[in-house]
Every structure is written in C-alpha cells, then in structure tokens.
Amino acid sequence: MRAFWAQGYGGTSVADLVAATGINRGSLYSGFTDKRTLFLTALRHYDRVQREEFLARLARENPPREAILAAFAAAARSPDDTPPGCLLVNTALEVSPHDAEVRAVVNEALAGVEGFFADRLEALETGTGTRATVQALLGLFLGLRVLTRAGAPQSTREAVSAQVAEMLG
Amino acid sequence: MRAFWAQGYGGTSVADLVAATGINRGSLYSGFTDKRTLFLTALRHYDRVQREEFLARLARENPPREAILAAFAAAARSPDDTPPGCLLVNTALEVSPHDAEVRAVVNEALAGVEGFFADRLEALETGTGTRATVQALLGLFLGLRVLTRAGAPQSTREAVSAQVAEMLG
DNA sequence: ACTGATTTGGAACGAACGGTCAAACGCAAG
DNA sequence: CTTGCGTTTGACCGTTCGTTCCAAATCAGT
C-alpha cells in the first residue's frame, strides 16, 4: 500500500511490490490475480483504515467542530513515516478516468468524507446553508491534499486550515 | 500536451507522443532531448496558455467578482474537446514529489492562481480577512479540479461553484 | 543538374515491464 | 525414513518501454 501511495499505480512496478511486501512474485500472483487486483485490494484497505476508521475515531473523540478541524489539521500535516498526500486523491486523478471499478471505490470514499462533514455540521445546527457548506469543506479538503502532496509551503496549508476554522464561526 | 493531460507523464509512451504530434521519433528526440524535457516544455506551454493567458483574459473581460466565478465555472465544466481536469494539478500529484524542476513549475503556477484570486479580491475591497479568503478560494479551486477529474456528479461540482458565489457575498 | 548539409523515417537496442511456470522446498501422515 | 501435497521460489517468457542510430529523402547553393 505504501508503495502505491508514494509512487502511484503506474509508477509502482511488481518488483517494487515484491521488495516492499517481502512476498515473492509467484505468491503475490497466486494470492491476488494480477497487479490491478492487488491495487484494488490496497486501495480498499487504505479506504477502510486511513479514511473510514480514521474519521470515525476523530468523530468519536471530538465534539463536531473540533473533529472537522482535526481532519484538516491532519491533512495539512506531512508526517515522516507516511508518504505525502492521500492515496485516494492521487488515484482519483491517475486511475479514475480510465478504470470504472477504481472510480467507484474512489467516489464512494469521497462520498464518505462528504458524509463525515455533513454529519458533524448537522450536529452543530448552524441553521441553513449547510448543504453548500459541506461542499465547500469537501473542496477545501481535497485542495489541501493537493497542496500537501505538491510540497506547497506549510504556511499556505495552515492558512487553509485557518480559513476552515473561520468558516465554522 | 493533450496526451500528457489525458494520461499523465508515466502513462504516456513515446509512441503515444509520436501519434499525437505527428512528429517522428527521431525528430522528437532531436528537438527535445528526452521524454522528460519534452514534458517540461509541454507543462510550461500549458501553464502559459491554459493558466496564465486564460486567467488574464477572464480578468480583462470581467469585473472582479465575475472573473472569479467564471474561473470556477470553467473548472467545474468538462468539455468534450479537452481532457478532464487540469494538467498542473495532475502533475502536482504524480510528478512533483519526485522531480524538483517540475515541482518548481507547478508551485509557481499555483502561486499564479493564488495571485489571480488575490488581485480580484483586492479590487473588490471587501475589507479584512482577504488573505484567508484567498487561501480558501485556492483550496476550493484545486478541490474542484480533483472532483472534475474524478468524474464526480455535476451537482457536486456546481455546489462548489455556488458556495464560492455565496462566499463572495 | 549536381553536391553537400540537414532533416526525416523507422529499424534496432538494452532495460524494465507484467505475468507464467516448473523445480525445490517444508511438512504432516503413514 | 518415505511418501504425497501445498507452498515458495526465482528463472524465464513475450511485450513494451525510452533511446539510439543510420540510411533515405529533402533542400539550398552553385
């Protein structure tokens, strides 16, 4: 998963996967049919662990407003033990246009993020305009992941987070 | 350029480039040193035509607020005669992490977009908070391009545009 | 029309790709 | 210890990659 995360689908060779997993070529192909299937498995694993479970934990351990801010703070950061950016966003741009099954996984994940924001906002009960605010949060979130992956200066990324704090009142 | 735009750097073979340009292999390599140099040239060309000149035209032909809205409307659209999404954003995710020279071009372009928003907002004179608003616009803009490339439903993309209109008051 | 310089076209290169396969291995049952 | 079986292994396959190179074609100057 890390390999795909760091180098993309096309940029990761089967040799890279053998090196990264320690599993041998033949075993890789007997366990997963081919590279594409392995990628789909990795993508679904990432979606579950890095998106679904991560957001669920944020929602459980924080009040609504802070949960949203924590999600943005995490997206702005670029930890040393993890490749920069988000595998789902990278995949949305690289593979989604050419592969319907991948596109379905990615769009479902994006809908999940959207739902996370919608649920938190609903709990805030800020009145009307919530639907538009959800879209804005999703857009800002994806944009932030692009900036992080592109290596934009930390100040730019923090400014996006700050703008979210302001938007939430 | 179209080929790189549609399929990315790694996904475009030299054979694709020969087919797309009508220029022969040898001539391609004598004119540009190698695939990477050709890509950098194409990227700079895209930056000039699709980013710099396009935004300048919007700024010239529209009042500030409408220029910003027009930029978002264009980013939300996915014309038939052009690949979906934005080559600069695609490149930011695929190549920027691995190539410093490409990263420089991309970041300069992103700064240019940021400047476009900043100049229009300044002309609007909406008072304080402008700096944060610029970051928000940039984030929303990049997010919109991700959504467009990923094939997200039109309604989602239009909602982002609508949220920008609301943000601008 | 002839010649020398330049551009063009496509065959050919080694390297790396995704994918396959038969031999070697580990291990439980007799 | 021998046998049979499921797994592991890395050598190997055809293809495609980026790149090179040379012969044929084109053109300019006389």
Query: What per-residue confidence (pLDDT) applies to B127?
Result: 62
Query: What per-residue confidence (pLDDT) applies to A116?
Result: 96
Query: What per-residue confidence (pLDDT) applies to A163?
Result: 86
pLDDT band at A169 (very low <50, low <70, confident <90, very high): confident
The token pair at B43 is: 């990227």
Q: Which nucleotides of C are covered by protein (CB under 7 A)?
A: 7-12, 16-22
Q: Which residue of A has its CA nearest to B150?
A: A92
Q: What is the mean pLDDT of residues A90-98?
A: 95
pLDDT band at B129 (very low <50, low <70, confident <90, very high): low
> Percent of chain B having pLDDT more than 90?
76
Average pLDDT along chain A: 93
Query: What per-residue confidence (pLDDT) applies to A128?
Result: 54
Q: Please indicate whether, in this complex, the C-beta atoms of A142 and B143 are within 8 angstroms of each other.
A: yes
Query: What per-residue confidence (pLDDT) applies to B156?
Result: 86
Q: What is the mean pLDDT of residues A109-114?
A: 96
Residues 85-114/A with CB < 7 A to strand D: none
pLDDT band at A35 (very low <50, low <70, confident <90, very high): very high
Nearest by CB to A151, from B97, B133, B163: name it.
B97
Q: What is the mean pLDDT of residues A44-66?
A: 97
User: Cβ of residue B132 near strand D, that is under 7 Å?
Assistant: no
Residues of chain B positioned with their CB less than 8 A from the CB of A114? 156
**Structural domains in chain B plus CATH codes:** 39-167 (1.10.357.10)
Q: What is the mean pLDDT of residues B2-28?
A: 93
Q: Please indicate whether, in this complex, the C-beta atoms of B89 and A146 are within 8 angstroms of each other.
A: yes
Q: What is the ipTM of this complex?
A: 0.91
> Percent of chain A having pLDDT more than 90?
79
Q: Please indicate whether, in this complex, the C-beta atoms of B10 and A6 are within 8 angstroms of each other.
A: no
Protein A24 CA to nucleic acid D11 C1', in Å? Answer: 13
Q: Please indicate whether, in this complex, the C-beta atoms of B92 and A138 are within 8 angstroms of each other.
A: no
Nearest by CB to B160, from A107, A135, A160: name it.
A135
Residue A60 pLDDT exceeds 90: yes
Average pLDDT along chain B: 92
Residues of chain A positioned with their CB less than 8 A from the CB of B155? none
Residue with tokens 């988000």: A86
Protein B19 CA to nucleic acid C3 C1', in Å? Answer: 35
Q: What are B57-100's pLDDT values in tens digits?
A: 999 999 999 999 999 999 999 999 999 999 999 999 999 999 99
Protein A34 CA to nucleic acid C28 C1', in Å? Answer: 31
More confident residue, B132 or B134: B134
Which single residue has its CA nearest the C1' atom of nucleotide C7? B27
Helix, strand, coil content of chain B in percent (nearest 5): 80, 0, 20
Protein B96 CA to nucleic acid C11 C1', in Å? Answer: 35
Query: What per-residue confidence (pLDDT) applies to B12?
Result: 96
Residue A2 pLDDT exceeds 70: yes
C-alpha torsion A135→B149→A5→A37, nearest 10: 110
Which single residue has its CA nearest the C1' atom of nucleotide D16? B13
CA angle, corner A63, sides to A59 and A65, nearest 5? 95
Q: Which nucleotides of D are covered by protein (CB under 7 A)?
A: 7-11, 16-22
Residue A126 pLDDT exceeds 80: no
Query: How far A127 CA sits from the closest chain B CA (Å)?
Result: 15
Is the distance from CB of A52 to CB of A112 less than 8 angstroms?
yes
d(CA A140, CA B146): 11
pLDDT band at B169 (very low <50, low <70, confident <90, very high): confident
Residue with tokens 């997993």: A21
Nearest by CB to B140, from A7, A114, A140: name it.
A140
Q: What are A70-91's pLDDT values in tens digits?
A: 999 999 999 999 999 999 999 9
Residue B13 pLDDT exceeds 90: yes
Residues of chain B positioned with their CB less than 8 A from the CB of A151? 96-97, 103, 107
Q: H or E stretch including A158?
A: helix A154-167
Residue B16 pLDDT exceeds 60: yes
Sign of CA dihedral A117, A119, A124, A130: positive
Residue B46 pLDDT exceeds 80: yes
